[in-house]
Structure 1
Amino acid sequence: MNKPSLEELKNVFDSKTYSRGFNYYKNGHVCLGVKKDDKLWGEVYGTGYAPYKVQVDFNDKISSRCNCPVGYMCKHGVALILKWINCKEDFLDIDLFKSNLKDKGKDELLDMILSVVVDDPFKITLFTSSKTKTEKVIDLNAIKKRVNHTNLDYYDYDPVYKVVSELEPVKNSAQNLKPEDAVYVYITLINKCLELYMEIQDAYALEDLIEECVEDCCNSLKLFSGDEPIYLKEIIDLVLLEDYGFEVANILFAMATKNNIQIIVEELQAQIKQLEGAELPNHYKRGKLINIIYHLYHYLGLKEEALIAISKMELENKDDYLRLGKALISTKKYEEALMYIKEGVRLEDVDFRLDELFLTL
């Protein structure tokens, strides 16, 4: 198998993923590498104690899979490939191992299998009938107490690593829960991580954990069989709390269907009314929620419904007029769009995006 060039690697992985994967390789996160034909397997440590399992295929083009929340073409794949490029001799070769096995007798092979099982009794399942995976039932209140008990005050050295090391097992435990219980665990973790994130700097490992929890939460919602939105208020609270680019709003998109979109939108609208009625209205958060409503409808292919929803909102600033103008244009109602855009341009606050849209009509 030919080694890929660094240029090839940079072309197939985005720059952020490549950079993080390079850091993982450089810092020794790759703990195991195995090669067979045009494939690599490996174990790469992330933010917790247990490493992620990675597979890379060089057959037609470079592709990688992983049991991390990203799942495909992730930084763990980059780290494993870089290890192969730079330290090929550290990889176990299955083809060579297979040829060596052919020279061994039955008794030798039996002794090898028994030694594996004695060292790790759970591996007996590899040589017996397939096991049935069961969903665990846990005390969610106990999980919440455990998560909320985690604070920076306890640690005077490398607090981020120790906090992540404490919370990572909780995240991993959610993988075998019912989807609705897993969602609760991820929401609880995200809330706590965001709280801690606001208190510290250089929280690279904590950023990874938040992103992984968001991704896992989205995946769990896609597995959830019910149409009724779950933990909707809690998720909206997270959306309002988060403003660091972690894309927590993706959780709402993961749960949205044509059957439940109205319930989600009504809750978002209720939150908007609260923000508008507050003693000190938060225009930024208000605009954020209105944008989510608009894009949720678009995500489900409901352009007309998106227009109707935001048409009912008060037009308070240029951002509101810009949003409505774009919605009207998307439904080819150009004259009406121009009317509202003209009104918005006359407002005193500055928003060059609205002026540019006006000039294009």
Structure 2
Amino acid sequence: MKTIKDIKMEDVQNLFDSIIFLRGEEYFEEGCVRSIEPINSCTISGIVSGNQNYNVSVSVDAEGDIICDCSCPCDFNCKHAAALLLKWLSIKDKYNKKLKDIELFKKESINQILAKKSKEELIELLETFIDKHPELKSLIRTEGKEIISKIKALFSNFWDWDEVNDLISQLETILEGIRRNKNLWNKNLLNDMDACSHIMINNVENVHDEGDLGLFLEDWFETYGDMFSATKPTIKEKGLFIQKIVDLINMDEYGLDGSYEKALLGMCNTKEDIQLIKKGMKQIESKYPYDEDHYKEFYLKLYDKIGMDDKYIEVAEQSGLTHILVDKLISLNRLNEALEACEKSNKKEFSELIENKKIEILKKLGNKKELKKSIFNLLKRTGNFNYFLKLKQECSKGEWKKYLKEIVSHSKSNKRYSLLSRIYYNENDFKDAYEYSKTMTDSNYLELLAKKLSKEYPELACNLFKKLCLNWIKAGSGWPYKKAGKMLEVIKKLDKTGDFFNKTKKEITLAHKKKYSLMHIIEAV
């Protein structure tokens, strides 16, 4: 089984895209990794500073995949995780002999600590915690009027884009309290939740939202529908509820129709409910005929919720929603049927999405021969470097030599020079990677390549750093100018005679002497 001591630089580079890796490398080199600790043979954790200190953990799962988690807004596979991994690579050798011992002395989890406490101790702990964080009281006791008051107060303020996370956090606490107190669900609380819904909808303009509020409202309205269903409504009441949601969709001006639909998903528990919902949604479907696939997918979610698998498969197949059909068949472990659906679809019209589904199925079936064949065909069709990495991962050393020769030949004949550069880079042939990088504009990749060239081919590295320096100047003032200055500093270190450095500096000065903020940076190098 793979452990954290088996992680290599190649694994880290393959895990992140070039810009994230490069920023992570900068964070590592600038000493932003404040602490790092191996928790056990499969997990490391630490604190990485950015706009604030972020808790980062990296684990190797049972299949050998590296899983990153971070408390920053990016959440996973971010520059903070890249920095932590680079730090780990620099120090892991001293831990290799100690990793087994760490297992013996790992800290007790919160659950283990709480399990040892008495009922009285737990009550006292909860009371102390709620005294310090009164907003969490709703997790224990839900009162409708109090919820309305909180929602009103929250939406009476304007929330800028950098404050929305705080708003969502408070709203999620309120919603979690509603969910946890199902024994209090009744028509009165439903009416209070309805009032809260209208407060939020009517004050959406107070939130500088980039999608987070919409995602929260999906959860809110699904719970709203679930609560309505729990009140054991009559058919007439169901019809009125559906019409209320349809009216919200009709009046929507903020792209929240998908959130409102979740209420219908929440209330749906029977075949009869689906028929009522379909009947109520007819006016929406006729109003937006170009959204036909959206409504088909929505009805499939209803079938899925109440376990009508055969109907789901039938409708998905009839509607030509192959990717959804295949996902359902995979979830039911009907892998051969899913594979057949992929092959049938791709015979009609090739789809990269469906071919990726096919790869997923072949992996589950353990059909390595067809799996490699499919990945290879996708690589040839698309020129996507990610398929190169996937194929390499699946091959033995002997197989890889054969595939690599064919991939390089095919890429050359199709003039896929940027792909060739990345292939040679991945194979540690940095000189050839340079030769095929001349038309590339990806500054992050080119900087990585320039760094790799620095030891053996400093003159080639200087050429790339010059290209990057000029590109950053073209990008505009501020941070790009600082990056240009950094590139020039590297050239100065690499250029032993100083000729190339002086020529480059003179060239920049003559071309941009009126850009005073740039000149201040360049003259300081």
TM-score class, shorter: 0.3 to 0.5
TM-score by length of 2: 0.34
Determine which structure has greater relative contact order: mean sequence separation of CA pairs < 8 Å that are 6+ residues apart, divided by chain length. Answer: 1
Greater share of residues in helix: 2
Larger radius of gyration: 2
